């Protein structure tokens, strides 16, 4: 299941704080801050989608993520590869390295990551 852009923005705050109260979330937003009811509605929708849950602490709810950030984004990157690159990671990598204007330093860092993964597979 996918989050809307607004839900993703809120989810980023939850991932960053790990366990947060509604007040903490609102305080994390820049001015003009969203209404409390807006954030509460988003949190309810995200609960219904299975992304967040909460613990009751007195009269307050302490929210936490049910889905790890890396898992969420890996699912979407894999979907992108499937839908736009014929399920070919090679086509995606080729597109990514040729069409995104990576600097020489970024390409070198990418090469190091690939070399590291190759060494892991050899072990």
Annotate the chain with three-state secondary structure. CCCCHHHHHHHHHHHHHCEEEHHHHHHHCCCCCCCHHHHHHHHHHHHHCCCEEEEEECCEEEEEECCCHHHHHHHHHHHHHHHHCCCCHHHHHHHHHHHCCCCHHHHHHHHHHHHHHHHHHHC
Question: What is residue 90's predicted lDDT score, i.e. its pLDDT?
Answer: 87
Domain's final residue, options 21, 45, 65: 65
For residues 34 and 26, the answer to whether their CB atoms sit within 8 Å is yes
Note whether 61 and 73 are same-domain residues: no
Question: What is residue 79's predicted lDDT score, i.e. its pLDDT?
Answer: 86
Mean pLDDT, residues 1-10 taken together: 91
Note whether 53 and 78 are same-domain residues: no
Note whether 55 and 74 are same-domain residues: no
Question: What is residue 69's predicted lDDT score, i.e. its pLDDT?
Answer: 93
Note whether 93 and 61 are same-domain residues: no
- What is the reported pTM? 0.73
Note whether 18 and 47 are same-domain residues: yes
Note whether 10 and 61 are same-domain residues: yes
What domain range includes position 89? 69-122
Note whether 91 and 111 are same-domain residues: yes
Question: What is residue 101's predicted lDDT score, i.e. its pLDDT?
Answer: 85
- Quick: pLDDT tens for 31-85: 999 999 999 999 999 999 999 999 999 999 999 999 999 999 998 888 888 988 8
Note whether 117 and 99 are same-domain residues: yes
- Say what percent of the chain tops pLDDT 90: 56
Question: What is residue 60's predicted lDDT score, i.e. its pLDDT?
Answer: 93
Note whether 10 and 60 are same-domain residues: yes
Note whether 9 and 56 are same-domain residues: yes
Number of domains observed in the structure of the chain: 2
Question: What is residue 36's predicted lDDT score, i.e. its pLDDT?
Answer: 94
The CATH number of the domain where 61 resides is what? 1.10.10.10
């Amino acid at each position: 299941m996918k989050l809307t852009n607004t839900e993703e923005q809120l989810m980023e705050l939850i991932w960053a704080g790990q366990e947060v109260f509604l007040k903490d979330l609102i305080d994390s937003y820049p001015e003009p801050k969203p209404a409390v009811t807006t954030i509460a509605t988003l949190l309810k929708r995200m609960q219904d989608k299975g992304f967040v849950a909460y613990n009751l602490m007195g009269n307050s709810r302490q929210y936490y993520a049910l889905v790890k950030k890396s898992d969420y984004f890996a699912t979407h990157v894999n979907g992108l590869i499937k839908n736009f690159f014929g399920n070919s990671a090679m086509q995606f990598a080729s597109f990514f390295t040729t069409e995104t204007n990576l600097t020489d330093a970024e390409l070198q860092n990418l090469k190091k990551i690939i070399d590291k993964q190759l060494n892991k597979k050899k072990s």
